């Protein structure tokens, strides 16, 4: 994939060459930094995950829901009464650029179907507001590059809703791996999937979703491979299986198995699916120990054990912690143990494009 790397280099974004870890383990002792200014957030897209984030933000100490952006007036009035949002902080998809003159909003959290993220983040940046964007950040690596550039040009942050990067048991496993407690990492297994219902939903529409299970849930195994192993994959192989071509038409993947090779010689074996119930398991193996998590990326509580015993970190509401931590990132310059910057979203898209290519061609795809 020489051309892929060249493309990213030309954009000034050598995605695969960036170090994965941005900060030291100091992060671990301070994940509840609760003093400082409050991040005033407008949620765009008042659907099921937007609602979850809004509910979780009620318990935030440093982030507050102050605005909404929606195409459905009845949802806006409902949210206004539920969360005490004044009329002047309510927008629709046509007029939300006016947020630039609204001091009640510091950041827009984009929680809409995947294919809409790019334009909505770019408009957010042009309005001078920080952008928080749900995963997948875009539906292609070139979209992600544009989004990063727009936020950079506007001097605003672009953060991706990678809530697991703040989750205490996940962070503990990363700490153990970083401090050598697992020895040299040799193998990771990531299994991410669920059985998708309604065949008419946007998740099964290629134009809005950008793909199928991989874009939606397989991304957890992709992203997890990187933060659990602590390296960037250098090659990928993949195999696609389809049992229902009506529900999962061309371009909407149902099940993909994929394998990564890492520079150290470690390997990963993963599964992404829309056809298996509650598949949510990570297994990391090193020369001196292991970590096993199940559930590993669901809303929690995240459970697991290592060769030293059960994981016992505090159980938190992921989105509450995420939003408090994002406030600390924006106002205090704090960084999580694994980045949630736009570059992180780009890396996952580059790898997922490699997975799709490997599945289509049946060939091993080099990622550097």
- Rg of the chain on CA atoms, in Å: 20
Closer to ligand NAD at the Cβ: 43 or 266?
A: 43
Does an H or E element contain 39, and which?
strand 39-44
Q: Which stretch binds ligand NAD (CB under 6 A): 44-52, 80-88, 300-308, 337-345?
A: 44-52
Cβ distance to ligand NAD smaller for residue 182 or 219? 219
Q: For residue 268, what are the β-bridge partners?
A: 188, 260
Question: Which of 91, 162, 220, 227 is an active site residue?
Answer: 220
Q: Please enumerate in sequence order all residues whose Cβ is within 8 A of that of 241, keeping only pairs 6 or more positions apart, or say none.
A: 254, 255, 256, 257
Distance of CA 219 to the CA centre of its chain: 8
User: Which residues 224-243 are close enough to bind ligand NAD by CB under 6 A?
Assistant: none
In angstroms, what is the minimal distance from the CB of 46 to ligand NAD? 5
Of all residues in the shown chain, the one whose CB is closest to ligand NAD is 47
CA angle 12, 15, 20 (to 5 degrees): 125
Question: Whose Cβ is closer to ligand NAD: residue 133's or residue 238's?
Answer: 133
Whether 220 is catalytic is yes
Listed in sequence order, the residues at least 6 apart from 95 whose beta carbon sits closer than 8 Å to its beta carbon are: none
How many residues touch ligand NAD (CB under 6 A)?
Answer: 19
Backbone dihedral region for residue 343 (phi beyond 0: left; psi -120 to 50: alpha; all else: beta): alpha
Distance in angstroms between the alpha carbons of the first and the last residue of the chain: 6
Among 106, 134, 344, 353, binds ligand NAD (CB under 6 A): 134
Segment 262-301, which members bind ligand NAD (CB under 6 A)?
A: none
Assess whether 135 carries a catalytic annotation.
yes
Residues in Cβ contact with 282 at an 8 Å cutoff, skipping those fewer than 6 apart: 188, 189, 190, 191, 224, 228, 291, 292, 293, 294, 296, 297, 304
Q: Shortest gap between Cβ of 159 and ligand NAD (angstroms)? A: 12
**Spatial contact of 149 and 245, defined as CB atoms under 8 Å apart:** no
Q: How far is the CB of 71 from ligand NAD (least distance, A)?
A: 6
Q: What does the per-residue mask of binding to ligand NAD show for 197-226, with x meaning CB under 6 A?
A: -----x-----x-------x----------
| Shortest Å distance, C-beta 181 to ligand NAD | 28
Per CB under 6 A, contacts with ligand NAD among 157-176 are 161, 163
Catalytic residue among 64, 118, 135, 334: 135
Least distance from ligand NAD to the Cβ atom of residue 49, Å: 3
> Least Å distance between CB 130 and ligand NAD?
18
- Judged on CB neighbours under 10 Å (0-12, 13-18, 19+), 306 is buried
Which lies closer to ligand NAD via its Cβ, residue 167 or residue 232? 167
Q: Which stretch binds ligand NAD (CB under 6 A): 12-20, 47-55, 174-182, 253-261?
A: 47-55
Nearer to ligand NAD, 12 or 71 (CB): 71
What is the widest separation between alpha-carbon atoms in the chain?
58
CB atoms near residue 246 (< 10 Å): 6
Nearest distance in Å: CB 363, ligand NAD: 29
- Return d(Cα 185, Cα 248) in angstroms, integer: 36
Please select the residue that binds ligand NAD; options are 36, 38, 49, 149, rule is CB under 6 A: 49
The angle at the Cα of 40, spanning 38 to 44, to the nearest 5 degrees, equals: 150
Return the residues of window 78-117 that contact ligand NAD according to CB under 6 A. 111-114, 116
- Which residue stretches of the chain are H helix? 2-10, 48-57, 73-83, 117-126, 141-154, 168-178, 206-209, 213, 219-229, 318-332, 342-361
Q: Which is nearer to ligand NAD, 216 or 325 (CB)?
A: 216
Q: Does 249 bind ligand NAD (CB under 6 A)?
A: no
Interaction site with ligand NAD (CB under 6 A):
45-50, 71, 111-114, 116, 134-135, 161, 163, 202, 208, 216
Which residues are known to be catalytic? 135, 220
């Amino acid at each position: 994939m020489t051309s892929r790397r060249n493309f990213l280099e030309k954009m000034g974004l050598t995605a695969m060459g960036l170090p994965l870890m941005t900060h030291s383990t100091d992060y671990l002792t301070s994940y509840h930094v609760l003093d400082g200014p409050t991040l005033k957030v407008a949620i765009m897209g008042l659907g099921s995950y937007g609602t979850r984030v809004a509910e979780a933000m009620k318990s935030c100490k440093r982030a507050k829901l102050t605005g909404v952006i929606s195409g459905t007036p009845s949802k806006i009035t409902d949210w206004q009464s539920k969360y005490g949002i004044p009329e002047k902080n309510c927008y629709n998809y046509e007029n939300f650029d006016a947020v630039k003159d609204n001091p009640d909003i510091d950041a827009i959290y984009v929680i809409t179907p995947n294919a809409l993220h790019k334009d909505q983040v770019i408009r957010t940046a042009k309005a001078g507001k920080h952008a928080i964007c749900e995963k997948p950040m875009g539906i292609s690596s070139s979209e992600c590059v544009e989004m990063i550039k727009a936020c950079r040009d506007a001097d605003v942050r672009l953060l991706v809703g990678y809530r697991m990067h703040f989750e205490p048991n996940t962070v503990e496993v990363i700490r153990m791996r970083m401090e050598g407690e697992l020895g040299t990492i040799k193998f990771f297994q990531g299994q991410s999937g669920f059985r998708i219902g309604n065949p008419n939903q946007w998740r099964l529409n290629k134009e809005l979703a950008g793909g199928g299970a991989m874009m939606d849930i397989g991304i957890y195994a992709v992203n997890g491979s990187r933060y659990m192993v602590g390296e960037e994959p250098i090659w990928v192989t993949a195999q696609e299986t389809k049992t229902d071509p009506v529900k999962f038409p061309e371009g909407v993947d149902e099940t993909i198995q994929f394998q990564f090779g890492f520079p150290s010689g470690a390997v990963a074996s993963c599964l992404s699916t829309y056809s298996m119930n509650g598949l949510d398991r990570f297994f990391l193996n090193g020369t001196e120990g292991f970590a096993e998590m199940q559930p590993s990326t669901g809303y929690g509580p995240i459970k697991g054990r290592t060769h030293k015993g059960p994981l016992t970190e505090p159980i938190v509401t992921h989105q509450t912690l995420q939003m408090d931590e994002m406030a600390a990132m924006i106002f205090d310059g704090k960084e999580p143990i694994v980045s949630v910057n736009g570059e992180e979203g780009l890396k996952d898209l580059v790898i997922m494009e490699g997975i799709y290519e490997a599945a289509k061609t049946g060939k091993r795809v080099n990622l550097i």
